[in-house]
Structure 1
């Protein structure tokens, strides 16, 4: 076991580390409270591209772990921010994925479609629980 007093910063996954389903995992609430109280820098990571960004802070707060949105890093936001620095302005994106990915791309100013592929310059794929062969055909 390590001593939190010797830790300069922490990077933690969210789902399965701080909570599982609708329940905080043992010690998670106390850990986040300790980090906040001591001012220890931390980042909370999520590879879940299905959920809107705000749902992460909302869920953590509901479970007794209030965190700043600046401490959360999601795969959808990383993709959107990376593409914002690389892609042509005004480019249209076809998204195979769910709300979290669509929202992240729209928030950095991209035009996103999930059906009209005629003027698409980029295809971005995330988890899609409604994935069909038709969606894959359109993307190809």
Structure 2
């Protein structure tokens, strides 16, 4: 973790890095930059993970992971887009992102967190006490496009 740092806002070049991250995931590979910029502006908490590289100037802090949260800061928070660059997977950076969500000072009072994930990702999220056992509650969705 020595070469990685958390950022809460993205530079223009890091938005470009984010677009590259999205291209690696089937569920977001069609996102357009103008929509992503709008989405980021409406996101309550952004947690980006940047690679500080070898420290040789000029340093470009490349975005290698991200997650974001939409919340009312009291009752509910929804975690979106937990993504790590393919070359950096399996070294614990997804866990770093999730820990940063739960350690974020503005999210400490939130009663309940939710997220969507593939079946194969359930064991990863169970580490933070996520469950797919919602009892009588059913998740409902309406799509516009």
Provide TM-score, normalisation by structure 2. Answer: 0.31
More helix by share: 1
Relative contact order, higher structure (CA 8 A, sep 6+) = 1
Which of 1 and 2 has greater Rg? 1
